[in-house]
Amino acid sequence: MILSIESSCDDSSIAITEILTLKLLFYKKISQNEEHSKYGGVVPELASRLHVEALPKLLQDAEKYFKNLKAIAVTNAPGLTVSLLEGVAMAKSISIALNIPLIAVNHLKGHIYSLFIEKEATFPFLALLISGGHSQLVEVNGWNNFKVVLSTLDDSLGESFDKVAKMLGLSYPGGAIIENLAINGDEYKYNFPVPLLYSNQTAFSFSGLKNSVRLTIEKEIEINDEVRQNISASFQRVATEHIILQIKRYLNLKENKNRYKFLGVVGGVSANLYIRNKLLDLLNKYKMDLIAPELKFCSDNGAMIGRFGIELYRTNEFINLQDLKVMSRANL
Ligand code: KG4
Ligand code: ZN
């Protein structure tokens, strides 16, 4: 079995996965949403202190599996340094105590492998990674063969959801709150401009849209529930139209015709059912399938870290205690 630890931002999570069968034997997560909510975003120092409380608690619950452990996989990049350090420090201690090797997992690869929790991966495919920290379209041509073909010029999609929520006086994280408010809103009430509609750039960009939402909110005399619903629905529609337009531009390139049979959507924002449905409509036109993780594995979790950790275990990609470092920035 492999023990996996995730602490890159504001979720502490641990999983135990059986290496041969990929079966998830144990999975737990403690989120810090409530604690950060009053500050309107993640406070790194607070996140770090909360990991120190949560991680040992989670570990205790998994104690009965310790005798069967063959390796420990831990997220070491990218993320908040002070958060990553807590998971990595714990992984190193267990590695010494149980005399088992360490595996360093890139958080973004973990997200992509959330598609294959309890199952084998098949290639090639396209991955749309939409989270609080990232917005990327990735060609995945092999188990460790990732090529980013579309990324954001400015903010990430998750961050934009959170910012819009904050501007509307809603709590953090705002993604799911905006999605729920949008259900009862008029998505054509506000005509926010679709980013990069009139440029032929193939990229994501959300800062202009965020700014349009801000200007609209400033103009409204009263921000009541109806306004919140309409702004949420209009923002979500335009942000989604933008993503769909950009993926379409990529798929329409001659070299990409019929190249991929499916697209996997991952990351916290992939829990959004409105976005999933619009992706489905788009992919239908290209005779492609959509795959997505179970809702509980869209946001940060230890199970996806264990799943990619097993790929690294299979190829003996272990790392020495002294070489295992954390990095706030890292690419796929
Ligand atoms: O993947 P994740 O847990 O953390 C990062 O690696 O960044 O993603 C968190 C992000 C937050 O911005 C949150 O607001 C967003 O995912 N999110 C959503 C939804 N659920 C979470 N955004 C839109 N709709 C949702 N239902
Ligand atoms: Zn994440």
Residues 272 and 188 in one domain: yes
Q: How far apart are CA 172 and CA 177, in angstroms?
A: 9
pLDDT of residue 38: 87
Residues 170 and 140 in one domain: yes
Query: Of the residues 112, 131, 177, 276, which should be mutated to test ligand 1's pocket, given the most ligand atoms within 8 Å of the CB?
Result: 131
Task: Write out residues in the chain with pLDDT < 70, as ranges.
Answer: none
Domain that holds residue 86: 2-117+297-323
pLDDT of residue 212: 98
pTM assigned to the model: 0.97
Beta carbons of 62 and 303 less than 8 angstroms apart: no
- Examine residue 313 and state whether it is found in any structural domain, yes or no: yes
Residues 158 and 207 in one domain: yes
Q: Is 264's C-beta closer than 6 angstroms to any atom of ligand 1?
A: no
Q: How far is the CA of 90 from the centre of ligand 1 (A)?
A: 26
DSSP run (H or E) holding 93: helix 81-98
pLDDT of residue 67: 98
Identify any residues that bridge with 265 across adjacent strands, giving them in sequence order.
128
Q: How far is the CA of 8 from the centre of ligand 2 (A)?
A: 8
CATH of the domain at 272: 3.30.420.40
- Examine residue 110 and state whether it is found in any structural domain, yes or no: yes
- Examine residue 57 and state whether it is found in any structural domain, yes or no: yes
DSSP character at residue 119: S
Q: Is 235's C-beta closer than 6 angstroms to any atom of ligand 1?
A: no
Q: How far is the CA of 95 from the centre of ligand 2 (A)?
A: 24
pLDDT of residue 139: 98
Residues 275 and 312 in one domain: no
Residues 132 and 108 in one domain: no
- Examine residue 206 and state whether it is found in any structural domain, yes or no: yes
How many domains does the structure of the chain reveal?
Answer: 2
pLDDT tens across 257-298, in order?
999 999 999 999 999 999 999 999 999 999 999 999 999 999
Share of the chain above pLDDT 70, in %: 100
Cα 191 from chain centre = 28
